[in-house]
Amino acid sequence: MAYPVNTHPHTSRLRRWWPTAAIFGFVVALTAGAVGPSTAATEASLAPSPKHIRATRLITHLMERYHYRKTRLDDELSRALLQQFIENLDSNRSYFLIEDIRQFERSKNNFDDYLKSAELKPAYAIFTVFHKRVQERVAFAESLVQKPFDFAIDEQYRYDRRDVEWAQSQEQLDNIWRKRVKNDVLNLRLTGKDDADIVDTLRKRYRRLERRTTQLNADDVFQYFVNAYVSTVEPHTAYFSPRTSENFKIRMSLSLEGIGAVLQTENDYTEVRSVVPGGPADKSEQLKSGDRIVGVGQGVDEAMVDVIGWRLDDVVDLIRGPKGTVLRLDILPKNAGPEGPIKNITLTRNRIQLDEQAAQKSIHRVESGGRTQTIGVIELPAFYVDFEAKSRGDADFRSTTRDVGNLLTELEDAGVDGIVMDLRGNGGGSLSESTSLTGLFIESGPVVQVKDSSGRLQVNVDPDPAIVYEGPLAVLVDRQSASASEIFAGAIQDYGRGIIIGEPTFGKGTVQNLFSLDRFAGGDDTPLGQLKLTVAQFFRINGESTQHRGVVPDIVFPTVIDADDQGERSLENALPWAAIQPTAFQRHRFHDGPDPFIKTRSRHEHRIGNDAGFTYLIAEAEERAANAARKEISLLEMQRREQQEQRASESLARENRLRTALGLETVGSIDTTDEGNDTDDTDDTEFPGDVLLDEATRVLADYIVASRPGGELQQTIAGDTSVLTTSSQADQTLEVESEIVR
């Protein structure tokens, strides 16, 4: 699932991506014959048309009337809009000069008036300057490619320029680009390419950089500008051009063809936002969230195409393809620095069925309190429902609640002592399913409160008084658990029905509706696109917002280095946390006597302090955080090679320490992959194992023992005895039409 983004997921601010549609991500999954690249446009054709004027009037009307955050079109918004538009075009401050910015800022208080009057020419004029600067930079870069560079000079290249001043002069910008080209050459040298290959690769890359700007048409420029406006108000509101709307419809299909990956643009890289459960990427275990795609090859032997610097939708078009065809990708793993190393993977495109994304069960046996506890696990990748079958009136339509209800019955029949609901990576889905799923674990009562833009409050309640499962329960979440996942986890926590375990969740508690602008076209058949509009906000039954903070687990795993740089908390202009009056509900009490949670948490803290798996995951997370915090890189070839060798050596040492702890054979070398998945010839399907799930089952087993009369757990650490309370999140709508906007 593509929402919420993060976007990402792991940045300190909302990225301005190529194109703006990348804010939502694209699932690379569909049949061949997709919409082709934008038609090349001359500067003369880059002008607003009557359809853009009509769309502007509709969008400003919808924003002012229906958006949850009431925002006036005034000078303050005008200044923010201009800044956002500039950064959407040149997020890394590598093209515009300070004199350009000063020229643009002469009209900084006028863009609200431009929107009111649907005057779009000033925005197109800014883009024309941008186009000119790109042409200048590409010509300069090409002139440097064949010139020799001295890689023995000790100098640094600042590759992340988002927080620095704009270049003061042409000479300063030339020096920035000299270092950029030098770094590009050095990166390719480190991969083993010879001089001729380096020149050919970089020439094509830079020419493509200029061509992708030339190929932007009037619709693309309009989309940039409008999204600068709406994202200034709130990050989950967005305009889809007609072409982007088609990609969006494809992405929301329940049955897809392709590799099953959600992509976004991060600086010049195409980054994997997430993988779709059940897809080829997921099944291969070769492609991970955070990996960067730098090359794409068709079939088993076609030449690899360098895609660094490509616009996202063109990369998507290159990766798409029909079922059964082979795709090769060059990957810069997320644990690797910008210098590599790069690994090559091969995937076979296939059809992604709903069945493969459905809930699944497993049984785990855990030692606790002197006996073996049997723990059932239900893995839930998404909150799904077969809307078509439901609308037809089919009595047996497929849904999350039905599937999980059946699995709960099967696990109880198998005699499990407790159940873990695994919602890691679950980005949400149907709001009604999150409500009805909660009802499987409670007798009756409210689940979530929804407040719309008019201030009206609706309380969604458990639709069925029957309880399917009354036993011990834990919910495992992570930083990508969002939307319906947070509604469910928040309700379980508020009722005291189970223990929430894992990482603080994403924290997006807003509702989006999708408005087709074509409905208001007044008989004109010219497509205008769509507007995804934030229309409501979710609140937990305890009155706390499901927005921004996310659900904070009762037991927080130490695998998150900086939660403030993740999820909704990292997005600019995100709605703040808020609170309303709680609704009436009755907390569940699973145990009698002293709270068993105190002993359970102490035992957990003692255990993970000595756990090799957690030590490994924390070290990996620290390395990723260190790489993400870097903004400069050395242009000394010797130093770069030494750094590459040092990182490989440290990664190998971490892996072998964990292998030794698990009783596995050590290895002599590994590729830099996500969470230690090695790519040598050793078949270690159990390495590194699911460290987080294993600990979640141990926590629940301890809680079961401590909750029983006379149940004893040795309390090894005296810690804070308070159970954390939380907020939560969701991204679904109040109507079936928008319920699939996830």
User: Residues 486, 491, 493, 498: is their CA dihedral positive or negative?
Assistant: negative
CA atoms within 13 A on the CB side of 215: 16
Q: Which two tokens stand for residue 222?
A: 């309009």
Calculate Rg over the CA atoms of the chain.
Answer: 26
User: Which helix (DSSP H) or strand (DSSP E) does residue 536 occupy?
Assistant: strand 530-539
For 315-414, where are the E strands, in sequence order?
A: 326-332, 343-348, 350-352, 360-368, 371-379
Dihedral class, residue 441 (left if φ above 0, else alpha if ψ from -120 to 50, else beta) = alpha
Question: Which of 508, 545, 602, 731 is the catalytic position?
Answer: 508
Q: Which two tokens stand for residue 528?
A: 């205008």
Q: Are 486 and 500 in contact (CB under 8 A)?
A: no
Question: Which of 78, 274, 483, 738 is the catalytic position?
Answer: 483
Distance of CA 673 to the CA centre of its chain: 19
Instruction: Respond yes or no: is residue 494 known to be catalytic.
Output: yes
**Running DSSP on this structure, what letter comes out for residue 699?**
H
User: Residues 238, 242, 247, 250: is their CA dihedral positive or negative?
Assistant: positive
The residue length of the chain stands at 742
CA 114 to each of CA 92, 531, 653: distance values in angstroms, whole numbers, following the listed order: 26, 19, 59
Partnered with residue 686 across adjacent β-strands are none
Question: Which of 100, 220, 282, 494 is the catalytic position?
Answer: 494
Instruction: Respond yes or no: is residue 483 known to be catalytic.
Output: yes
Other Cβ atoms less than 10 A from the Cβ of 627: the count is 14
Q: Which residues contact 523 (CB under 8 A, 6 or more apart)?
A: none
Q: What backbone phi and psi angles, to 5 degrees, belong to 271? A: -105, 140
Instruction: Respond yes or no: is residue 508 known to be catalytic.
Output: yes
Dihedral class, residue 260 (left if φ above 0, else alpha if ψ from -120 to 50, else beta) = left
Other Cβ atoms less than 10 A from the Cβ of 529: the count is 26
Instruction: Give catalytic residue positions.
Output: 483, 494, 508
